[in-house]
Amino acid sequence: MFKKGISVWVFSSLTFISLLHLTEAISVLLFNNKIQLLQLYPLIGEKLQLIPSMVYLLASAIATVTFWGITCAIAFDNPVEAFLNKILSDAKTQTAVESQLIEQKSEILDVMSDTIESNNDILAQVADTVYNVRTEVKEIQPISAR
């Protein structure tokens, strides 16, 4: 968080400086004033005085927009939001894997259920057959007892 604060401070300062240059470039272009801010830079100030006012305007405008964009990108980058988004995407992935696993298990359970139902039908038939055999055996016993 400390690095983020320092970065925002540095890039916002650069944005402010480039905005000052943009303001001066506009005044130079509209009011035909002399370029004065570029004299402040040591070693290259005299060479910078020779650039045309339109180039100065475009360069300062591009620098202002670029530094402002970088400042906004750094300032609005929220690590908590990124962390939560990562957790949510991991949860979605895990949910998809779990649902696929449940579908596979449900197929096994369906097969088991079908087997149990068929076994239940067979057991019912066996029970009916045993009942019928017992009934007939009871009828046969008195005959053999004679």
Give the pLDDT confidence of 39-90 residue by residue, as tens digits.
Answer: 888 888 888 888 999 999 999 999 999 999 999 998 888 877 888 888 889 8
User: Which pTM was predicted?
Assistant: 0.55
49: its two tokens? 């005085």
If asked whether residues 102 and 42 sit together in one domain, one would say no
If asked whether residues 71 and 126 sit together in one domain, one would say no
If asked whether residues 109 and 89 sit together in one domain, one would say yes
Supply the range of the domain harboring residue 131: 79-146
Positive or negative: CA dihedral 111, 116, 119, 125: negative
Q: Using an 8 Å Cβ cutoff, are 67 and 10 in contact?
A: no
Cα–Cα distance, 83 to 96 (Å, whole number): 20
The domain total for the chain is: 2
If asked whether residues 88 and 142 sit together in one domain, one would say yes
If asked whether residues 57 and 101 sit together in one domain, one would say no
138: its two tokens? 């009871």
